[in-house]
Structures are given as structure tokens and as C-alpha cells.
Chains A and B, each alone.
Chain A
Amino acid sequence: MEQVTVDINGLSRAFGSKTALHDVTFRATAGKVHGLVGANGAGKTTFIKHLLGLLRATGGSVRVFGLDPVRDPVGVLSRVGYLSEEHDLPEWMRVDELMSYTQAYHPNWDAKYARELLDTFALDPAKKIKELSKGMRAQAGLIAAVAHRPELLILDEPSSGLDAMVRRDILDAIVRAVADDGRTVIFSSHLLDEVERMSDHVTLLQQGRVAVSGELDEVRRGFQRSRIHFIEHFDKAPVLETALAMEGGGRAWSVLHSGSIEQFRRSVLARGGEIVESRDATLEEIFLASAGRDRQQKEAA
């Protein structure tokens, strides 16, 4: 049976009149990488802050290792490694002081691993945090987050604004974390190719709600991109069942659709068209289609 690391049920959170998360249900199991995607302001960071106990839920429940992170922050945080989006580290600290300081909180700190990572990243331990570049700060934060071999590694937009080299380091750390038995990684990103490459499980947040959630392959199989040829000429996109987004014009259209291919084929045939080609959609296509539909609904409202 799969070991559940994170169990969230009906989580809601409001800031004044603005609802940031609405009835979010999420489950993370050990040994898997969980990607969290969504547009800016979709609620990814708010979601992650709940895992760390930095925010109290307005409704629903949050359990990490079976514990409530607000009631028992020590029990949860001692088993979690966290890298924040802002890499907000005390600027007056030296890199070696940051390592010693973090080590004090984690009895299972792997000093050898930390040193190895420092060497790999070519970080000078005597340098102050404020003297480091953005990428170097991310690397320092990453070492502090992973060197105690956490059971749950949480990365909030870890690659945001970083160059390809640092991004690769961070992705390597995720791979290594998963390579260790039974560790769980939750990472948020709006770099969809990165999420697609790394994740076993993906959750798409939209306006604080879970729009799509599931195993990556399952999610991708649930959406297809099809090329359609119609006999008739259409100035505007024709209405097709299960279609989420349509591009093109005249007789040739490219459609992103969900549900079964047979149902979609029947709908196309009914409009006098035929499917020329069909394939599983990419995460980016699913994301863009969902975001586009959401925007259309908003505009219509």
C-alpha cells in the first residue's frame, strides 16, 4: 500500500474577501514527484504555505505525515526540506554559518553531502549571502533544504528567474531526493516542460481550485490534440463536444479536447468533418487550453 505523505481535504483559504484556495483536495504519496502548476496568482504558494504550517486553513484539513503543520510545526518541519521562491536567507550570514545554523535543527544532517554540494556548486563558504548572485543564493538555499535528507522536499518555484545551469542543479537535486528510498518531492513551477520532465503526478491549480490532477500519463491521455478537416468553410470555430480550445480557420482546425476520442469523432462527423491526426496533448497545451477557457468564462461573465 502506498504511504501517504501529504493528505489535504477540502482546503479553503480566504484573505479578506478574496478566496485564494477553494475546496482543494490533494494527496502526495511517498517516492513520487508531484508537480504543481498554475498561472501567477493561481494559489500555488498559498497551497505550499499550508503544507509548512505558515498559513491556517479557513476550511478543510491539512495533514503532513499525519500531523497538522499548524499545531505541530516541529514534528512536520523537522522532516521537511523547503526552498522558497524568494530564496530569502539572512543576508548577513556567511554560507558556512547558514550550513551550521541549519545543521543545528536537523540531527540527521549529512555534512559530507553538504560539502559535496558546496564543491559541486563552487560556493565559497566564507562568502556572505548578500555577496551571492541570485543563482548562488538558490544553490545555498537548496543545500540547506536537502542536506538533512528530508522525507518531503518542497520547492516553491525553484527555477524562477534562474539560468539553465542552476535549474539543472535543482532538477538534479530532485532526482537525487527521489532516488533515496521513499522520499517525496512537491514542486511548483510555471515552466511546464520542467514539470512534465520531472513529475510523476501533476496538479493544475486555477483560480484557487484544482482544475486537473492525476498521474502525468493519465492526465495527458485524458486530453488529445487533433487535426480536423471540414468539408464546409467555417469563419468562426464550430461547436464540438468536449473541445476545450480550437485554432485555425476555414476548413482546417486544430482542436484540443478531453474525454474519449470516439465521442469527439462522432461530434466531428456530425459537423461534416474528419480527424486527420490525433495525439496525446502536452501539459503546456492542456494548461493553455484550461487558462484560455477560464479567461473566456470570465469575459462572458
Chain B
Amino acid sequence: MRSPNQAVLWEIWRVTRVEIAWRFALCLVGGLMALASFAAIAGPDASARARDLGAVAALVVIVMPNWLGWIFLGRLNKGRAGYPMPLLYTRPIRTVTLIGLQFAYLTVVQVAIYLVCALVLKLVSGYPFPLLSVSAWIATSTLLMTSIYWFTRSLLVQQFVGGFISGAWLLYAIFRLTSFGEGKNLHDSPLLWPSIFRLTPGEWLALALISAVSFGMTAYSVARQRRGDARTPWTPGSGWPDWIVNLFRLPCPTSSPTRAQMWFDLKSRGLPLLSLALMLAVINPLLFAISNRVDAANPDWAIPLGPMALMLSMMSLLAVMALGGLNAFGVRWSQGGTYFEAHHPYSTVRLANLKVFVRSACLVAALLVVGGSMWAFLSAYPLLTGDKLFWKMTGMAHIVFLHGAENAFGALSGYQKISLVIVAFVGIFVWVASLAVILPLWARYPRRGNIAASALLIGGLSLSGLVLAERLDLVPGFLVDAAFTTTRWLLIAATLFVTIYLAWNSLAERLLTARYAFGVLAVAVVFGAASLTVLRIGGLRLADLPATSALSLLTLLVVPLMLMLLVPWSLSRYRHL
């Protein structure tokens, strides 16, 4: 290296090169596949409309990675907010130069990936993929997104600002892509792209301004972080921010290890999840009420805020579901990593089940709080305010969803209601357990994990490819049927084999006691009975189904049993590496 500047560029290239390769491959292959898929779906004599839609999909595919941001930024900083390269703090280089070089590198790379993909697609399809204007937009959004990662050391601020800007980015992209004017449709848009994506001088100025502000703000903030003036970042594993944890005062019981462990899991992950749900339960209706008022005052706005607020509420439910399900064991990614509770005299089976159970219960409670608040709000708000606009916007959702669900649930018998509750809880348990076992198993068996994931991915892609090929009359239909039937039987066999192996292995290792095994079986039987009842509510009877479908359905009922065995087994494999 001849200069510090080169060293900085070399370092950022080293940490991004794999992601760049992935991004480029995904964009190019994804874009080409989008073009090919739409042509295939329309058949050998693909209509122009299908091809046009394929071009729209291809454009979305090559632009979307910019919305996702850089994965390496999060990984470098191990999930913390703030500038991610503490090593560079000590290097003799000015902060402005440091940030400038890194910003320039990331921007050039993103734009280059887009430009190459757009040019290839343009060459292959002949559609006028926009180059300059979208490149400028991508450059600006790269600066803005990177700035969000680096300018603050508060994860909360980062998440809120990042979420808001991501939402705005997505809405603007949809707005721009659909600005094809009256009487036209989405499939007409590719031919109109030159005019749709033409930027006015005002827009160019806005992009330049956003870029300059992003750069300035980041350079200023990183300089403060470098001097040590910025606040200490929140670190994953150090628990949630104090003010959230302190919402609940709960003394640690000393009477039994189970109670103490329950307290540990509640305090470290469960209660913060509930606090988050409580916040969302207040924020969602408020946001909805405010946006509804704003819409009422501005009926001419092209994009009403009400539906966006509704969408955000739904997304918050998904966020709770995702956050609540993540890493219930609290293990570290790397092999050899350990966790605090591993040193305590507590059985692995109890520890694993307790962790998943507590997390599932908290997740159910969190979902009930967030969903319940929206339910109550949607039911009560229009009645209280007589808001006609609200009725207009949410009427359909209200009538179809709320009333429908309320009436349907009310019509059920007590046994059916209990069955529904059991199936819902076990469903949440399966979700939490599935996410919980991934990390320990991957940490213990990284190579086998990669092989399994690759096999699943290749299998899925092959099946998709076969379907496309059948559409294009390249392969006969019976071959596709045979592939799907084989896959189904393989999955059934794999589920049954894994369940039997886990039961046998856990008993052989004395990980499971006979008592626990009977308990697991009892829960599985109760879940099976409840599931069949729920299927009957939905008008599905096992006896009416063909034998293969009935067997597939019954195998699905085995999944909770398999997970109840896999949960302690996977934690044991991680605890005793």
C-alpha cells in the first residue's frame, strides 16, 4: 500500500467483495430470470404484455437490493449502531477523508452493479432500462442508508429513522414506477420509462442536497464517535435498553432454579418484547387516528396516509412475530461460543423447553396486545367519531375481517374454541422452536448446515425450473408430477426418520427421560386431536382426502413432536460441543 487512502479502500474492498459478488450475481441472474419467467408463463408465443411485465419485474429485481442496504455494515459492527470500524479510529487519516472514501466506494460499487445489470438487460430485451436517473437515485439512497447506519449510536433512533426512510423509499419507488398516467397500465410502463424516470432540475437538486447532508451529518457524527463524545452504543447480549427493561420491576426468585431461570428469560428477552408490544399497541392506533385526520383534511392527496398506517400496523405485527421468535436460546453464532446459563446446574432438557415455552408465551401475549389494540381500535373508533372517511377506507377490512372473524369465533363450540387456542399456541411454539434450533445446529454442524440449506435451495430452484420448462413445453407434464410426488414422499420420510432418530438418540444419551418422552407424546396427541378439530371447522375431513394427501397432513401433525425432541437435542449439542 502506498498511501493510507489506498489502505482504507483496500480494507473496505476486502470486507465487501463477497457481498458485491452476491449482489451482482443475484441482480443479473434475478433480472434475467424475471424476463425469462414472464415469457415462460405466457407460453411459447409470449404476448407483448407478459414480456412488458417481465421487464418491470426485472427492473424491480435489480433496484431492490439498494433498498435492503449493505449486509456487511450490520455484520461488521455486530449489530450495534454507529460507525463500524473501530480499528480505523487509530489510523492517521482525517475523518472527512475516511468517510468520503468509504462513501465514494460504496456508491460507485452500487451504481456499477446497477448499470452493468441494466445494460445487459437492455441488450438482451431491448427495453429502455433507465440508466442515469436511476443511478443517481441509487447513489443518493446508498449515501442515505449508509449514513443511517453510521450517524447514530442509538439503535432505537437508527431503527426508527431507518424504518421511516425505507418506507418512504419504497413508496416513492412504487409511485415513480406507476406514474404512467391515465388510461395506461403497469405493462405499458417500460415503453414510458424514459419519461417516467426523467428527473426535473428540482429533483436533481434534491438528490444532491440529500447526498451532501448525508455525508456532512455522517462525517460530523463519526468525528464525535472518534473523539469519544458520542454515547456508548448498545451491544447485543447486554440486554435491551435499560428504560425498556426497567418498565417491569421483578425480583429474582431464589426458591428454585426453574423459577430463577424463568425470571432470567422473562427479564432478558420476554418482558422487553412485551414492552415493545405495549408501545406498538399505543402507537399503532394513534398513528392510524392521526393519519385518518390528515386524510380527512386533505382529500385531494394522491396517496392517502390511512392505508399506509394500516399497512404499518400489519408490519408491526410481523415485526413482533419475527423479533419474538429469534434466537430463543440466546446462543452466539460462532462455534465454541458459550452462554451464561450453560455453567449452571440445570438440565438441558428443562432449560431448552423452558426457554422456548417462556418465549412462546411472551410472543403470544405480545401478539395479543398488538393485535388486540388494533382490533379494539378498528371496532370502536368509527362508532365513537362517526368518521365517514374511516368507514370508506377500512369498511371492507372491517366487515370481512373483524365481523367475519368475530361471528365465526362466536359460533364455535367450547371444545372447538379450545382446539383453536391449542393449535394457535402450538403454532407459535413451532415458530419459536424452529428459529431457536437453527443457530445451535448451525454452530455445531456448520458444514452439514450449509449442505442441507444448499440442497433445499437447489431442490426448490430445480422444481421451479421444471415448472417453467413444462410451461414452455420443454419437458412433459408427467415428469413434473413425478418430481413433486417424489419430493413429497422424501419430505414425509425425512420428517418421520428425523423424529424417530431424535427420540432414539435422545433416549440413548439419557438426554430424555421416559417421563418426558410420555409428556411429549401426550402433547402431540392433544395437538393432533385439536388440529383435526380445526380442520373439520374449515370443512376438511381426513376421511374424504386421498390417501397421499391424508398422509402428508398427518406428517405435518408430527412436526411439533419432532420439534419438541429437537429443541433439547439441539441445545445439548451446543452446550456440550
Contacts and interface: CB of A to CB of B under 8 A. Distances in A.
Contacts of B90: none
A193 interface: no
A278 interface: no
B268 A92 contact: yes
A52 B576 CA distance: 9
The 9 closest A-B pairs by CB, nearest first: A92-B239, A104-B260, A91-B238, A78-B345, A77-B345, A100-B252, A70-B576, A103-B254, A74-B345
Nearest to A57: B576
Interface in A57-113: 70-71, 73-78, 82, 84, 88-92, 97, 100-106, 109
Given A53-B576, A104-B255, A92 B238 contact: yes
Nearest to A69: B576
Interface stretch (B335-343, B382-390, B455-463): B335-343
Contact of A84 (B251, B252, B343, B576): B343
Nearest to B338: A54
Contacts of A265: none
10 contacts: A54-B575, A55-B577, A70-B576, A73-B348, A74-B347, A89-B340, A101-B252, A101-B263, A104-B259, A104-B261
A70 B344 CA distance: 13
A92 B509 CA distance: 35
B577 A92 contact: no
B252 A92 contact: no
Nearest to B246: A92
B377 interface: no
B346 A101 contact: no
Given A55-B577, A56-B577, A92-B245, A105 B345 contact: yes
B58 to A, nearest CB: 42
Contacts of B342: 54
Interface in B199-245: 235, 237-240, 242, 245
A91 B236 CA distance: 10
Interface in A16-60: 52-56
A266 interface: no
Contacts of A104: 252-257, 259-261
A97 B238 contact: no
Interface residues of A, number: 32
A54 B576 contact: yes
Contact of B577 (A54, A89, A105): A54
Contact of B344 (A55, A77, A84, A92): A77
A88 B344 CA distance: 13
Contacts of A89: 340
A104 to B, nearest CB: 3
B153 to A, nearest CB: 15
Nearest to A92: B239
Given A56-B576, A92-B267, A82 B345 contact: no
A271 interface: no
A130 interface: yes
Given A55-B577, A104-B260, A88 B340 contact: yes
B264 interface: yes
Interface in A183-216: none
B553 to A, nearest CB: 38
Given A90-B264, A92-B242, A101-B252, 5 more contacts: A15-B335, A54-B577, A73-B348, A102-B344, A105-B346
Given A53-B576, A55-B576, A105 B238 contact: no
Nearest to A145: B343
B346 A74 contact: yes
